[in-house]
Amino acid sequence: MGCLHAVLFLSLGSLVVGEITNKGWWKDTVFYQIYPRSFMDYNGDGVGDLKGITSKLEHFVDADIGAVWISPIYTSPMVDFGYDIANFREIDPIFGNLADFQALTAKAKQLGIKVILDFVPNHTSDEHEWFEKSVQGIAPYDKYYVWRDGTVDDDGTRLPPNNWISVFSGPAWTFNEQRGQWYFHQFAEQQPDLNYFNTLVQSEMKNVLSFWLSLGVDGFRVDAVPHLVEVEDLTDEPLSNTPGVNPNDYPYLDHIYTKDHELTYQIIKEWKDLLDDYADSTNTDEKVLMTEAYTDLPNTMRYYDCGVQIPFNFKFIMEISSDSTAVDYKNAIDTWLDNMPKTGVANWVMGNHDRSRTASRFPDRADQMTMLAMILPGVAVTYNGEEIGMTDTWISWANTQDPQACNTDPDRYEVHSRDPNRSPFQWDATKNAGFSTSATTWIPVNSNYLVLNLKQEKQDLISHYKVYQALTKLRKETVLREGEYEVKIVNNQVLAVIRTHVEGGVTEKVILLINFDNSVGKTVDLTASSIADKSAKTSVYTSSVQFRTTVGAEIDATKIQLPAKASIVLLSRSGAAHITGSIFLTIFALVIKHFLIQSD
């Protein structure tokens, strides 16, 4: 791979060695997804924009977030809110322009924040120049998309080429009168799929990546990557036989011919090589590739083999629910870590713009999910609003905008809608939660913003944001950056995640305890469970907001009282009389902050 060796090139007649700098910067970084429509509205039109993001970059410094991933900001008709792209090299006016983007990246660089862009390669908008020329049969664009002839039944009704179903429900084919053929779309009919068997299409998308790299981006999150390629012979997909599924809905079929094609992995590897070669030749920091793949574990793990640093781990989204037990959580954690390549780095995704918010999926347990993401080894990914415990907003059928929901009906839309988890960020208790000065916002603000907002949580002695800050600070410590990990079940319903680092005769541990009993407290003996040594000093670092503890207080490791639904992070040290310097300073800073807030 390009990241493993230097590239030699000639410059001004002398031999210069190109080299990727700051390799591995991402390995223990907190990545933060910004949904730009809902983050911050600078110009007061009710929709978030680039200047709004730039105006709030200091928030990421305050929260110790190292990289931001920005959902699509490209020119788009906004049928799927930016995931239907009409020009891959321009900023949509609703968000600003290229100058605004360059100002954002420049300020982010000054603040030490990496910028990752959403890359949407599976399809374009039907308003993209390529598709418009493809419809007209103009070469070479006539072969840029997946066009096929269909059939006609006895009564003259046109029928699509096969039985494939769109992710957004209904046929995955739409007939175009002008061209007289059907085109394929995995998503909305306004999002025609590109034809990746065409090498010209592959070259076009590489050029898109190169364009944004030249503007200083630090990597890409690749959208919907399993859908990139489908079989050429258009074989009908078999029924999934899933009970109760509507025949028009995506789960009705088993998608063995429209996902996880072998060519997809070859293309991803070439994109990763391109990123490595760019960093090599420009002497810049390592560029990151993140992949969104809702697929099975073996196919997900293959992205590591392609050089992808962060193939998104959706186990906590797809396999864990509010009914899951401590054993379920342990299995989800162990399965990923046990199947990951030895050279791979784990990642933990708790939420995103496509899924219900963490605080809504796991009532009274939002902090525990943040704790897991931060304390387990590897990369943590935060969706905007999770740091303050934002919840889903109810959206009526009349106000629903998500095409995935609009393609259903008033009885089924709520199951399919992603609108509730895309409501504006709640900055403060002023109009529209401080998100916008507009009379209306593109989607309603959650009515709980008066009590749940960032400003209030900064002022509160105990809050989701204070827990979040404590955890991001702790991730800087050696025990979390380099320490071994272990996951245990204690008393049947308590999950324990233990990170251990031994140096100079000192054993340092970070211990996360989560009580999965929703009604009964548990007493945990860390020594009997071989989690902490009897001679170790154990103290409280932070806890879930419902479990009010004293930061820095030393506790008896043999009888830790853990209330129902509670989670707590403990520090344990043995082999030395005093706490090591860096963590002492972290705890001291947190304690001082608490006292300062109380005195205000």
d(CA 419, CA 417): 6
d(CA 468, CA 474): 10
Closest CA to 51 of 59, 43, 63: 43
Which residue among 193, 223, 367, 392 is the active-site one?
A: 223
Element (H, E) at 594: helix 581-599
8 Å CB contact between 427 and 455:
yes
Does residue 331 sit in helix, strand or coil? helix
Closest CA to 271 of 382, 196, 381: 196
DSSP string, 561-585: EE-TT-EEEEEEEESSSS--HHHHH
d(CA 312, CA 317): 11
Which residue among 193, 292, 457, 508 is the active-site one?
A: 292
DSSP 285: B
**How much of the chain is helix, strand and coil, in % rounded to 5?**
30, 20, 50
d(CA 50, CA 507): 46
Q: How many residues does the chain have?
A: 600
Backbone angles phi, psi at 388, to 5 degrees: -115, 5
The residues, ordered by sequence, that sit 6+ positions from 6 with a Cβ below 8 Å of its Cβ are 17, 18, 19, 280
Would residue 45 show up in a list of annotated catalytic residues for this protein? no
Structure-derived torsion over alpha carbons of residues 486, 488, 494, 497, reported in degrees to the nearest 10: 0
d(CA 309, CA 591): 36
Closest CA to 19 of 30, 33, 9: 9
The residues, ordered by sequence, that sit 6+ positions from 463 with a Cβ below 8 Å of its Cβ are 388, 456, 457, 545
Would residue 49 show up in a list of annotated catalytic residues for this protein? no
Backbone angles phi, psi at 91, to 5 degrees: -90, 135
Measured CA distances, 362 to 41, 98, 336, 351, 470 (Å): 29, 39, 21, 11, 21
8 Å CB contact between 329 and 309:
no
d(CA 493, CA 507): 27
Measured CA distances, 572 to 164, 519, 532 (Å): 55, 28, 7
Instruction: Give strand ranges (E) for 204-314.
Output: 219-222, 288-291, 310-311
Closest CA to 251 of 372, 366, 412: 412
d(CA 82, CA 71): 8
d(CA 432, CA 577): 52
Question: Which of the residues are catalytic?
Answer: 223, 292
